Amino acid sequence: MRLRPLSLVPLLLGLSACSFVVLDPAGDVAAQQRDLLVVSTLLMLLIIVPVMALTVFFAWRYRASNKSARYEPEWDHSTHLELVIWAAPLLIIICLGALTWAGTHLLDPYRPLARIKPGHDAAASAEPLQVNVVALDWKWLFIYPQYGVATVNELAAPVDRPIRFHITASSVMNSFYIPALAGQVYAMPGMETNLHGVINHAGVYQGFSANYSGDGFSNMRFAFHGLDQAGFDRWIAQAREGRTLDRARYLELERPSEKVPVMRFGQVDAGLWQAIVGLCVEPGKMCMGEMMAIDRRGGLGLKAVHNTAPLAYDKHARRGSAVFGVDDAFVLALCRPQDAPPKAGKAAEDRAPAFSAPTLGAGLSRISALERFDLGALAPAAAPNS
């Protein structure tokens, strides 16, 4: 019997390696989320603990061997008991609803920070640090547009300076999460999400993906450095010693890989971030914004029949195939419901329109250029594509 407590020693040793960063964060946003979690738990315990205690009490009080307990088989109602049973949970639900409503708005990840820590409002003149985050397979790319640098699997920010994250992904959905800083926000291809946060204590914290994304998911981690301003300036200076991150280099980096060491880039292609979000980093690839602008104007009609290849966003199937702007890819038929079916025996190749257009939306290389085109003149109005 005396040796039984010793069996708990391995359990205690295992718990000693646990990190309670969620309950002891280093950032004000994460601290407010911690407070919300603790208060909500305590409110629910106001119901749970009495119910569990009364369960044990009634089981002991009205046990079969207790002959002194009152036996009332005809009892069926008590107004006072009903008020307690229904009023107490209702009050708890009202309080939880108020906390949830306030927390949902005050801790909205898209909401700019009103304060950097308790008692210190965010200065209106202070420019937030902008970080563009790309979830790759299986690593993280961080672009600092204000400084013209980028890093892989390493992130840094000054203490007490608001941070504004712009988050996207290259392929599958991931979740960007630094428990010491703020809550998690999903990263999705072709979309941009936002997160605001601030780090209040210097140190090195862990960030990772909280959403399963394939074979290398478990190694999709990075270090987040909270630095004083002088330390952050030195970190930026070290990053500027790296090589250039252009589109060709990004396409190499985008390929699936695991356990990638820290990489730093001293220069970044100015249009790379928009191309990543628009899924059009590859040469000749039509950006999603260009495609949507064309659709908003009613399409390009017959001029666009050779533009189907640039609209295919399955990069794993087409990467390295030189399909963009080289091989022919076109719609075999354009029709309207009222059009007569083609004659029997006529080859599909003979029915294909003999138009040849550049791969960037029939010569539209940028969205701004699209606004200068008269799209009605590019395709006959009497023959819309379907």
> Which residue, 195, 202, 206, is CA-closest to 168?
195
- 8 A C-beta contact, residue 258 and residue 152: no
Number of alpha helices (DSSP H) and beta strands (DSSP E) in the chain: 11, 14
Cis status of the peptide bond prior to 140, with omega within 30 of 0: no
20/34 Cα distance (integer angstroms): 11
25/181 Cα distance (integer angstroms): 7
3-state secondary structure 286-305: CCHHHHHHHHHCCCCHHHHC
Instruction: Give, for all 386 residues of the chain, the pLDDT tens digit.
Output: 555 655 655 655 555 546 678 888 989 999 999 999 999 999 999 999 999 999 999 899 888 888 888 888 888 888 988 898 899 889 999 999 999 999 889 999 999 999 999 988 888 878 999 999 999 999 999 999 999 999 999 999 999 999 999 999 998 899 999 999 999 999 999 999 999 999 999 999 999 998 888 888 889 999 999 999 999 999 999 999 989 999 999 999 999 999 999 999 999 999 999 999 998 888 877 788 877 877 777 666 666 655 555 555 555 555 544 444 445 444 444 444 444 455 555 444 444 333 333 334 444 444 343 443 333 333 333 333 43
64/156 Cα distance (integer angstroms): 66
Using alpha carbons only, how large is the chain's radius of gyration in Å? Answer: 30
CA atoms within 13 A on the CB side of 206: 10
The angle at the Cα of 359, spanning 356 to 365, to the nearest 5 degrees, equals: 125
**What pLDDT score was predicted for residue 181?**
93
- 8 A C-beta contact, residue 220 and residue 235: no
Residue given tokens 């890093």 in the structure block: 151
Phi, psi of 97, rounded to the nearest 5 degrees: -65, -40
Alpha carbon separation from 326 to 36, 249, 305, 321, 342 (Å, rounded):
57, 22, 15, 9, 29
16/220 Cα distance (integer angstroms): 24
Whole-model pTM: value is 0.73
**What pLDDT score was predicted for residue 309?**
53
**What pLDDT score was predicted for residue 301?**
65
184/135 Cα distance (integer angstroms): 13
**What pLDDT score was predicted for residue 311?**
55
The model's pLDDT over 276-333, given as tens digits with 9 standing for 90+, comes to 999 888 887 778 887 787 777 766 666 665 555 555 555 555 554 444 444 544 444 4
300/380 Cα distance (integer angstroms): 9
131/185 Cα distance (integer angstroms): 14
